[in-house]
Amino acid sequence: MGTVIYGSEVAEELRGQMAARIREYKAQGKRLPCLGVILVGDNPASRSYVTGKAKACDSVGMLTKEVDLPEYTTMDDLKKEIRKLNDDPEIDGILLQLPLPSGLSENEAILTIDPKKDVDGLHPISIGNFYLNEPGFVPCTPLGIMELLKRMDCPFDGMNAVVVGRSKLVGTPVSRLLQNRNATVTVCHSHTRNLKDICAQADILIAAIGKPKFITAEYVKEGAYVIDVGVNRLEDGHLCGDVDFDAVKEKAGYITPVPKGVGPMTITMLLQNTLKAYEVKE
Ligand code: NAP
C-alpha cells in the first residue's frame, strides 16, 4: 500500500517556517509583508476563496489589503485599483481573484499588474521568465505539486512523468517544472490516444483533469508517485479528486488525497510567493 502524503501537513510545516521568518522581521522593526487582494462582484465561491486566502495570510502574520469592487466596475476603474496597489510600497503581492464578472477582460487586468508583485505568476512577463528559467513568479498549484513530490523523496532525474491535463494554470506549467528537474515528460489531454497505456508507464503521474475518480488502478504503475490535483464535488456534497483514491493507493508508491492534498499547498505557495516578493524588496 502506498504512502499517503497530506498536503495539509506539509502546508502547516511550511507556514510555521514562514511565520517564524515574519516574526523575526517584526522583531527587527521591519514592516510586515502584505498581500493586496482584489475581488470584483459577489460570486460566493470567489468570496469564500478570498476569505480563505486572507485567513491564511493572517495565520503566518502577513497582512492583507482587500479591495472589494462592485459587479458593475468598469475596466478603467479596475485598472486604476490595480495601479494603486502597484504603486503602494506597503503592498508586496497582488492577487486578482478570478473569474472576473463577464464584460471585464482578465487578460487586460492581469497585464496591468506589476510583474514584481504578480504572486500568482499569471502575467506574460512572469510566464516568459518562467519558461526562460529566469527569476520570477511561478503559478502556485504547480509549485505546490513539486513541493509534495520533494516530500515523497521523488528523484525526478530520468523518470517518466505523465501529466494528464494541459491547462495554463496547472498541467502546462507543472510539465515545465518536471522537465527542469530532468524528468521525461508526456503531457496528455482530451485528444490523447491510449491514455491508459501512457499513464501506466508513468513513474510520476499528475492528474489535473477535473473528472471524478477518472484515474483508476489500471492507469497506474506499481510504485508510482501519484499527485491528484482534481477537485470535484459529488452529488452527495463530498469532494473527490481525479484519482480513484481507495483503489490507486493500493498500487501507488506515494499518493496525495483530496481534500487535504494539493489544495492547502496552493494557498501556502501564494504566501511563499508573497514573502519572496517582500524579501526581494526589503
Ligand atoms: P481545465 O482548465 O478544465 O483543464 C482540464 C484538462 O484536462 C484539459 O487540458 C483537458 O484537455 C484535460 N482533459 C479533460 N478531459 C480529459 C480526458 N477525458 N482525458 C484526458 N484529458 C482530459 O482544468 P484545470 O484548471 O487544469 O483544473 C483541473 C482540476 O484541478 C479541476 O478539478 C480543478 O478544480 C482542480 N484544481 C485544483 C487546484 C488546487 O489547488 N487543488 C488548483 C487548480 C485546479 P483539453 O485541453 O484537450 O481540453
How does pLDDT run along the chain (282 residues), one tens digit per residue? 899 999 999 999 999 999 999 999 999 999 999 999 999 999 999 999 999 999 999 999 999 999 999 999 999 999 999 999 999 999 999 999 999 999 999 999 999 999 999 999 999 999 999 999 899 999 999 999 999 999 999 999 999 999 999 999 999 999 999 999 999 999 999 999 999 999 999 999 999 999 999 999 999 999 999 999 999 999 999 999 999 999 999 999 999 999 999 999 999 999 999 999 999 988
Taking the centre of ligand 1 as the mean of its atom positions, its distance from the CA of residue 24, in whole angstroms, is 39
Q: Which of 259, 194, 261, 193 is nearest to 225 (CA)?
A: 261
What dotted CATH number matches 140-263? Answer: 3.40.50.720
Please provide the distance, in angstroms rounded to a whole number, between the alpha carbons at the two ends of the chain.
47
What is the bridge-based pairing of β-strands 184-188 and 232-233? unpaired
Q: What is the pTM of this model?
A: 0.96
| CATH 3.40.50.720 residue ranges for the chain | 140-263
pLDDT of 13: 98
Contact by Cβ (8 Å): 144, 135: no
CATH of 30-115, one of 3.40.50.920, 3.40.50.10860, 3.40.190.10, 3.20.20.70: 3.40.50.10860
Q: Sheet holding 93-96: strands in order across?
A: 63-69, 34-40, 93-96
pLDDT of 281: 86
Where does ligand 1 bind, in terms of residues with CB under 6 Å? 141, 164-167, 169-171, 188-192, 195, 208-211, 229-232, 262-263, 266
pLDDT of 7: 98
pLDDT of 282: 82
Residue 36 CB contacts under 8 Å (≥ 6 apart), including other chains: 64, 65, 67, 85, 88, 91, 93, 94, 95, 117
The x, y and z cell numbers of residue 134, run together, are: 529566469
Cα 202 to Cα 218: distance, rounded to the nearest angstrom: 12
Taking the centre of ligand 1 as the mean of its atom positions, its distance from the CA of residue 209, in whole angstroms, is 3
| CATH 3.40.50.10860 residue ranges for the chain | 30-115
Annotate 1-13 with b (16+ C-beta within 10 A) or e (fewer). ebeebbbeebbee
pLDDT of 171: 98
Taking the centre of ligand 1 as the mean of its atom positions, its distance from the CA of residue 172, in whole angstroms, is 11
Active site residue 53: yes
Residue nearest to atom 30 of ligand 1 (CA): 230
Active site residue 28: no
Residue 185 three-state SS? strand
Active site residue 80: no
- Read off the amino acid at residue 146: M
